[in-house]
Structure 1
Amino acid sequence: MRVAIIGAGFAGIGAAIALRDSGERDFVILERAESVGGTWRDNRYPGVACDVPSHLYSYSFLPNPDWSSVFASGPEIHEYLESAVHTQGLEEHLRLNTAMTGLDWDDEWAVWRVDTSQGGYTADAVILAAGRLTEPRIPEVPGIESFRGELFHSARWRGDVELAGRRVAVVGTGASAIQLVPRLADAGAHVTVFQRSAPWIVPRPDRAYSDAERASFAADPEAMAALRSAQFWEGEAMFAARAGDPAAVADARAEALEHLHAQVADPALRAALTPDYEIGCKRRLISSDYYPALASGAVALEASALASVDRGVLVAASGARVEADVVVFATGFESSEQPYAALIRGVGGTTLAEHWKRGMTAFASTSIHGFPNLFVVNGPNAGLGHNSAVYMIETQLQYILGALSHLDAFGGVLDVSARAERAYTRMIDRMAAPTVWLTGGCDSWYLDPRSGRLTLLWPGSAHEFRERNGTFDPRPYEPKETHVAPHPLRVQGVR
């Protein structure tokens, strides 16, 4: 086939729609799970929701006038992605329960050999849309194997476990934890939160859209597009605080501290909930019910990390001992070292894991030297800490369609030069140096632990990413001919 897409989350479904709209029909979407949705399929914990406004956290070419609220719930986003597959006629291209088990470049025939749990495929090009929040990370805790109760990760939620009246420990205070904890308290669980470091939290300005508003969006697509644009530029305005602008940082810090003081009256609890690093260094969270849950006494805060487990007792770094029936790890994902990288072999048999041994890199955050005709979406330095990931995905899809159009016109293969990839990486490092992610005094999942480099986020604004990386330019690619005739591909562009 012409193109194999690995993954059926936002990136993979978006890539399929972009290909289909360009006129291409010779592609397949390989998804290891039994349904589409990626992150929004896997995360089913109580309270799961997006922290980017709904109209912005959706495809620009597939607007949804029926979002129920400013910030959509996880199930609603999952439904949106399932609907996209159906309404865009992608079912015939979709292969569910089909895990990619190996991806090997055949230099002689200039194709990728794709091994899966359901058989093999051959593709001229591969769009790797496997995501970065797929493999839950559970920290190594001495004695964890002795725990007598139920233990699971928030991204592998156990709906069959009864929580009312039980002692539930939540390990972690990131985006998932602050959504989950109030819902556990509401369900009647006795909750203890293990906090390794306090997060910065600002108010969540959520509300339901009225029937009249939804009807107006449906009747006037331009009004919906204007709302999306306004939300985008509101997000862009927040980048200054990440870039290290002193006034912007001070304003962001003041907003978060005012929120904390307004919702937590107890000085000792407030002190324990005050971060000891600069705002924005880790992901800034939004919530209007996490602090009240802690302040009410319904949730106990253990202001130190989980250090060890002694059967039914959790031992904190502070020495405190907490009895628990259920442990929920809200500890994030294996984001900096992607498990799929070991399965991908490029020119000469080099694995992507070997290429990324000091951290993920890619030219234009999309192409990797030694891995021809392979395009990574939402991969190295393609994330954001202040705006919508969907905007970034659409930018990368524009770039990929340009690359495929070039292949259609000129044949050969596209392998970005090592020099271009190194130069782009040096540029990323220069841009990242003054940002709060490197100067804010925290240990975040945005940084690769092996090198300390910023490998997950784009250290600039979203519109700058599109200006730099939204249009394909063949000049950084090494000329490489092949005896295989080009396959006609009708590429027009993203709608």
Structure 2
Amino acid sequence: MTQHSKRERPSILIIGTGFGGLGMAIKLKLAGFTNLTLLEKADRVGGTWRDNTYPGAACDVQSHFYSYSFEPKHDWSRKFGLQREILGYMEHCVEKYRLGDHIRFHAEVQEAAFDDHSNQWTVTLASGEQLTAEVLITATGQLNQPAWPKLDGLDRFRGKMFHSARWDHEYDLTGKRVAVIGTGASAIQFVPEIAPMVEQLDLFQRSAAWVLPKPDRSFKHWEQTLFQKLPLWNRFYRYLIYWKNESRALAFTKFSGLLEYYANQAKREARKRVTDPAKLKKIIPDYKIGCKRILISNDWYPAINRPNVNLITDPIDRVDETGVITRDGHHHPADAIICGTGFRASEFLSPIKITGRGGKTLNEAWQNGAAAFKGITVSGFPNMFMLYGPNTNLAHNSILYMLESQFRYVLECLEALEKYPHSAMDVRQDRQDRFTHVVQKGLEDTVWSSGCTSWYLDANGRNTINWPGFTFTYRFATRRVDTADYQFLYPGQTTG
């Protein structure tokens, strides 16, 4: 994108410095928007890639497609990027595009409220400081609030306890008896790393995961050189990854029978790697493949097969001072408990209190479930744009592709606002309702609605997380802003 003339207006606040916040800020700067501030609660950028430093943390989307299209990295060490390398890439982007001057660290947002009379957002930080801006962009992601298990007695445990997303690197697990609660995407990465060093690992599994082999390997030096010297090859390689991943959407949304091929592959892999019949029986899921997130790993099954790993499927009854007690009355002593229980993904923007027009809060607007027009704008909350909002998550491709579609849409919204100086754009409720209906209708026949309990579903059993189709259909839906979908409000106005 070419450098535009400097645009001092509007003033813009971005909450979060993960891939969404950083990418949006870069695109805004390239378009000439200079009056922008990124608010970050921590002391460095990175979002989920800053927080999740557990052993073995890596991405399950190919490195070359888990990076911005406008900022290719040629020297990825592996096909699937490791946490440290991904975080390094994000820090490189901050430096290259000089975002440092725009970022405020230790700036945790507690509240954001829209003022009908001034058409401005007032953001209150945890310190009590208040900031105002004409435009609010939220980039808090879906994987930032750790979900702790709701277990009786968790606070009574006298040993070491932490969540995988807040890993305690000071604590030495060597020779310890460790209880791991949860067998999701984080656990399948850190369990194989810690299993060889602990004395005993009790793995508490509520439901098994479908785990496929990870087609991962190191890149050779000549391959990295080729990516660097031939940018067209780098682009073509991304293109190949995109279409390979994109083809999987058919299996998730229309032809779930295709997933049986992968189910058989997972079963074959489990039978080959796990020799204990009792464990083998427990690790083959009883729900349709794809209903929950499909995981990829080459060392999960060998880790399960270790003699010092005990796979427990009996439900946890409670935790006491010295360990975990299952419903059958068995006490499992532990020196440490690690919770690999994921995130509160469907609680978008939690725990920030957002208040829109007429004093209505986002919690009130979403009492029947989170919903947003194109996953970006919410009726009653003018000039607020969400990145990675409701129903924009994927099970088959890179979320960065979705984010880049959103960057373009938000930029067009800001350009629309320039045509109506001092106004605030608010999506019409009927347009939002119609869009939400189409999305929910599209989700009805997908594999995610086949009856399992997953983090894709909110407390009402509604899928507020996933996009029900191809990423190119989402890009087409966000290719331009139709101002007829919005009303433009002037200060003090209650209707458009």
TM range (shorter): over 0.9
Q: What's 2:58 paired with? A: 49
SS state of the match for residue 50, structure 1?
strand
Q: What's 1:489 paired with? A: none
Q: What's 2:137 paired with? A: 127
CA distance in 2, matches of 1:387, 1:304: 34
Deviates more, 1:272-281 or 1:350-359: 350-359
CA deviation after TM superposition for structure 1 residue 371, in Å: 0.1
Structure 2, gaps ≥5 residues long: 1-9
CA deviation after TM superposition for structure 1 residue 187, in Å: 2.9
Alignment of 1:157-196 (within 5 A): 157-196=167-206
Q: What's 2:342 paired with? A: 332
CA distance in 2, matches of 1:239, 1:344: 34
129, 138, 157: which one aligns with 2:148:
138
Q: What's 2:110 paired with? A: 101
Q: What's 1:363 paired with? A: 373
Kept in 1, the 8 Å contact 2:256–2:447? The answer is no
Q: What's 1:215 paired with? A: 225
CA distance in 2, matches of 1:28, 1:304: 49
SS state of the match for residue 249, structure 1?
helix
Deviates more, 1:161-170 or 1:350-359: 350-359
Kept in 2, the 8 Å contact 1:98–1:116? The answer is yes
Q: What's 1:442 paired with? A: 452
Kept in 1, the 8 Å contact 2:12–2:133? The answer is yes
Q: Percent identity?
A: 39
SS state of the match for residue 195, structure 2?
helix
CA deviation after TM superposition for structure 1 residue 358, in Å: 1.8
Alignment of 1:390-405 (within 5 A): 390-405=400-415
SS state of the match for residue 52, structure 1?
strand
424, 427, 430: which one aligns with 2:441:
430
CA deviation after TM superposition for structure 1 residue 342, in Å: 4.8
Q: What's 1:197 paired with? A: 207
CA distance in 2, matches of 1:339, 1:373: 16
1:76-128 CA-to-partner distances (Å, cap 9, x unmatched) read 11111111101111111111111112211011111111222452221111110
Deviates more, 1:147-156 or 1:305-314: 305-314
Kept in 2, the 8 Å contact 1:341–1:353? The answer is no
CA deviation after TM superposition for structure 1 residue 135, in Å: 1.1
Over 3 Å counting, the alpha-carbon distance change for 1:452 and 1:216 in structure 2 is same
1:19 partnered with 2:28: yes
CA distance in 2, matches of 1:317, 1:71: 39
Deviates more, 1:122-131 or 1:310-319: 310-319
CA distance in 1, matches of 2:491, 2:200: 64
Q: What's 1:457 paired with? A: 466
Kept in 1, the 8 Å contact 2:109–2:352? The answer is no
1:413 partnered with 2:399: no
CA distance in 2, matches of 1:479, 1:36: 34
Structure 1, gaps ≥5 residues long: 485-495
Kept in 2, the 8 Å contact 1:6–1:130? The answer is yes
1:296 partnered with 2:306: yes
Deviates more, 1:151-160 or 1:291-300: 291-300
Q: How many residues align?
A: 482
Kept in 2, the 8 Å contact 1:392–1:462? The answer is yes
SS state of the match for residue 250, structure 2?
helix
265, 284, 287: which one aligns with 1:277:
287
Over 3 Å counting, the alpha-carbon distance change for 1:127 and 1:259 in structure 2 is same
How large is the RMSD of aligned CA atoms in angstroms? Answer: 1.5
Kept in 2, the 8 Å contact 1:342–1:351? The answer is no
CA distance in 2, matches of 1:220, 1:140: 52
One-letter amino acid of the counterpart of residue 89, structure 1:
R
CA distance in 2, matches of 1:12, 1:149: 37
Kept in 1, the 8 Å contact 2:134–2:383? The answer is yes
